[in-house]
Amino acid sequence: MTRFVAWTMLALQLGAAGAARAAEQAPAAAPAAAELTALLEYFLDGASRNDVAVHDRFWAEDLIYTRSAGVRTDKAEILADVKKGPDPSEPPTQYTAEDIRIQQYGDTAVIAFRLVGKVGGEQPETLEFLNTGTFLRRNGEWRAIAWQATRQAAPERTRVAGGAPVNLTPGAVARPGLADEIRAADAAFFKAFFDTCDVEAVRAALTDDFEMFHDKGGRVATSGAEFAKSTEDKCRRQAEGSDFQSTRRLLPETMKVFAINNYGAISTGTHEFFAVKSGEPDRLTETGQFTIVWKEEGGRWKLARALSFDHVLAP
């Protein structure tokens, strides 16, 4: 009997120790769960409306944000994008949160959830992301200090009897501000090429493997270095007076920008070209169409491919 009591006491002691270790390893309770959930819903409602004040309230000043495209950003860049306003050519997106999980450790909390974006009107496209945010409570106020967004893979489709399964991934959706970024990069590149003859700026705006196809000359460039050299030659001829000065003007209403997942963007549009002579009005020489493939590289936009076509001489 004495031996039985001893074994029983030992088992109870081991069970208590195991329970204590399990309690230590279990996720912390979240007494602020209701407050944090309300904050998240407040933010998603404001983000759907591109509300600058909501973004400013939600993000901490020392935020580190990693986008689903693998690009790191911060609060200042996010607010700058939001302040530009939505692109009129992009459909509105309504954001909601599902499967919210909250773990709290004193004044620090982690929120993991599935972000659902409904893009468009009556028959919206659905996008899903797995988001994880780390929040810190300072002076009684919760703010996000770190954020990670990951695009959720499309679910596998059920095989249809008598045929292969239909597996289709939705097309890329442009992030807020993408069109403005591309328009700015477009303006800077063509200004350097035509107006200021800034060869180094042109060189810096091209990928190493840049290619250009022109309806007049065919494949006119096979690398960024080759195009930069041709720019340098053009600028030298203009300085010598053996080639005329010219400028390029985009027809803003014709420009369209499309996102490319895991790479960058495509821009298309119509532009006009003018001969420039001091003391005289600029003279229209021709119009043309363009398509440019942009690569987001090292935090800046670079031209990777360019198509210049459908040139029509002015009468």
Range of the domain at 40: 33-151
For range 151-171, the mean pLDDT: 71
- The strand ranges marked E within 139-263 are 141-151, 206-214, 218-221, 245-250, 256-260
What pLDDT is stored for residue 88 in this prediction?
A: 77
Residue 11, domain member (yes or no) = no
For range 144-172, the mean pLDDT: 77
Q: Give 156 or 291, the one with higher predicted confidence.
A: 291
pLDDT over 90 (residue 281): yes
Residues 184, 145: one domain? no
Helix (H, G, I), strand (E, B) or coil at 122: coil
Residues 241, 279: one domain? yes
The residues, any chain, with a CB within 8 Å of residue 308's CB and separated by 6 or more, are 212, 213, 214, 215, 288, 289, 290
Residues 220, 292: one domain? yes
Residue 141, domain member (yes or no) = yes
d(CA 260, CA 292): 12
Residues 46, 118: one domain? yes
Helix (H, G, I), strand (E, B) or coil at 315: coil
Looking at 151, 169, 188, the residue that finishes a domain is 151
Residues 197, 237: one domain? yes
d(CA 91, CA 75): 24
Q: Give CA angle at 209 (204, 210), nearest 5°.
A: 65
pLDDT tens for 227-261 read 999 999 999 999 999 999 999 999 999 999 999 99
Q: How many helices (H) and strands (E) does the chain have?
A: 7, 13
pLDDT tens for 295-309 read 999 889 999 999 999
Transcribe 46-71 into DSSP letters. Answer: HHHTT-HHHHHHHEEEEEEEE-TTS-
In 3D space, the residue among 30, 28, 25, 29 whose CA is nearest the CA of residue 142 turns out to be 30
Residue 254, domain member (yes or no) = yes
Residues 140, 216: one domain? no
pLDDT tens for 66-109 read 988 888 999 999 999 899 888 777 788 899 999 999 999 999 99
What pLDDT is stored for residue 157 in this prediction?
A: 54
What pLDDT is stored for residue 16 in this prediction?
A: 46
Residues 124, 37: one domain? yes
Residues 195, 142: one domain? no
For range 37-41, the mean pLDDT: 95
Residues 45, 117: one domain? yes
Asked if 247 and 194 count as a contact pair (C-beta separation under 8 A), the reply is: yes
What pLDDT is stored for residue 5 in this prediction?
A: 41
Residues 98, 193: one domain? no
What does DSSP assign to residue 194? Answer: I
In 3D space, the residue among 169, 151, 170 whose CA is nearest the CA of residue 91 turns out to be 170
What pLDDT is stored for residue 156 in this prediction?
A: 57
d(CA 4, CA 64): 59
Residue 107, domain member (yes or no) = yes
What does DSSP assign to residue 80? Answer: H
Q: Give 214 or 22, the one with higher predicted confidence.
A: 214
Residues 147, 212: one domain? no
pLDDT tens for 176-217 read 899 999 999 999 999 999 999 999 999 999 999 999 999 999
Residue 28, domain member (yes or no) = no
Residues 192, 290: one domain? yes
Looking at 151, 168, 201, the residue that finishes a domain is 151
Number of independent structural domains in the chain: 2
For range 28-55, the mean pLDDT: 91
Looking at 151, 170, 190, the residue that finishes a domain is 151
pLDDT tens for 113-150 read 999 988 887 778 888 999 999 999 999 999 999 999 99
pLDDT over 80 (residue 7): no
Split at pLDDT 50, 70, 90, the class of 158 is low
Residue 293, domain member (yes or no) = yes
What pLDDT is stored for residue 144 in this prediction?
A: 97
For range 267-291, the mean pLDDT: 97
Helix (H, G, I), strand (E, B) or coil at 167: coil
For range 275-293, the mean pLDDT: 97
d(CA 269, CA 232): 26
Domain with residue 240: its CATH number is 3.10.450.50
Q: Give CA angle at 278 (272, 281), nearest 5°.
A: 45
Q: Which two tokens stand for residue 174?
A: 């442009």
